[in-house]
Amino acid sequence: MFKGLYIIIILLTLYGCLNSVQTAPETEVELGKLLFFDKMLSSDHSISCASCHKPEFAFADTMKFSLGVDGQKGVRNTPSSMNMASRPFFFYDGRAATIEEQVLVPIHNPVEMDLPVPELLERLRGSHYKAWFEKTYNKQPDSTNLSAALGAFVFSLESPGDTPFDKWMQGDEKAMTEQQIAGREIFNEKAKCFDCHFGPDFTGDEFRNIGLFNGSDSLNEAGRFGITGDLDDLGKMKVPGLRNIAVTGPYMHNGMFETLEEVVEFYDNPETFVKNAINRDTLVQEPLNLTEEEKEYLVAFMHALTDSSYADKTIKK
């Protein structure tokens, strides 16, 4: 009996060693990917980065607020981790200036992964990661190369440029429907979306207050003001990119809207949703007065910003 058990233990050990060899990363990005999906990065080994940044939903979450260790609820909606390579700020309030700074914050945040970085480094040095870091960086895991690996993987998550919109811009006149083409015109002109959502990733990387702050218990996120202390920044949040937006609901920093249809209704007349908004941007002071058809076309255009790999994941009313 004991001999059989001993043989099983040896076989399991050999399997683990072989599996480690098979999955050993060849590049910094591959190392970062392994870390991103590894629950070792949380205090109780219960969640990974991918638990909240779900690959099947463009590395966003489908919950209003993601759950951390012990089921703790986060305070802001989880944004997509895609198309971050050109971003000058990270987090809704822009408190991180580099991806290397950003990726470490959720790890030691007590509401999220709740693991002090020094403790994580000890774990990594006592595991197969030690050899992988030495192979990649010629040194043991430390906070610098840990953040570099995670950051490299996040920066690799760029859209391939195969959305219906991209194909249409490249000359395929049938890539977008007539409704989506009409929606693009509304996006650029009457709805004024383009004033904030422009460039390759549909963001100007600015901070804007769209009217979701009024000082009440439910709408009291000070946003950028909490970082700068500048009253002009009160209630401002970083303008997100819109690639794969149809996949990444719920929407806004507080996840208050489930669908793009609801988002469009809000922008059409913010005052009907939030009374007495403080420091609301001049772009959203007056109703847009969109017709029902224009709203439908606008949503259709945003669906045209979806990568082909996520085409079957779009969130509809």
Q: Are 86 and 80 in contact (CB under 8 A)?
A: no
Is residue 223 a contact partner of residue 207, using CB atoms and an 8 Å limit?
Answer: yes
187-205: per-residue pLDDT in tens?
999 999 999 999 999 999 9
Classify domain 20-155 at the CATH topology level. Answer: Cytochrome Bc1 Complex; Chain D, domain 2 (1.10.760)
**Collapsed DSSP state (helix, strand, coil) of residue 67:** strand
Provide the pLDDT for residue 312.
83
* DSSP label at residue 300: H
Rounded to the nearest integer, the mean pLDDT of the chain is 93
User: What pLDDT score was predicted for residue 128?
Assistant: 97
What per-residue confidence (pLDDT) applies to 306?
Answer: 98
Cα separation, 28 vs 25, in Å, equals 8
Reported as a single tens digit per residue, the pLDDT across 59-73 is 999 999 999 999 999
State the pTM of this model. 0.90
Identical topology for domains 20-155 and 164-310:
yes
Contact 216, 132 (CB under 8 A): no
Contact 105, 115 (CB under 8 A): no
- The percent helix, strand, coil of the chain (3-state, each to 5) is 45, 5, 50
The domain 164-310 is placed in CATH, from the list 3.40.50.300, 1.20.120.1810, 3.40.50.740, 1.10.760.10, at: 1.10.760.10
Q: Where are the domains of the chain?
A: 20-155, 164-310
34 Cβ contact partners less than 8 Å away, ≥ 6 residues apart: 23, 25, 132
Q: Encoding tokens for residue 67? A: 């759950």
pLDDT in tens, 2-43: 455 454 444 444 444 444 444 799 999 999 999 999 999 999
pLDDT at 113 exceeding the cut of 80: yes
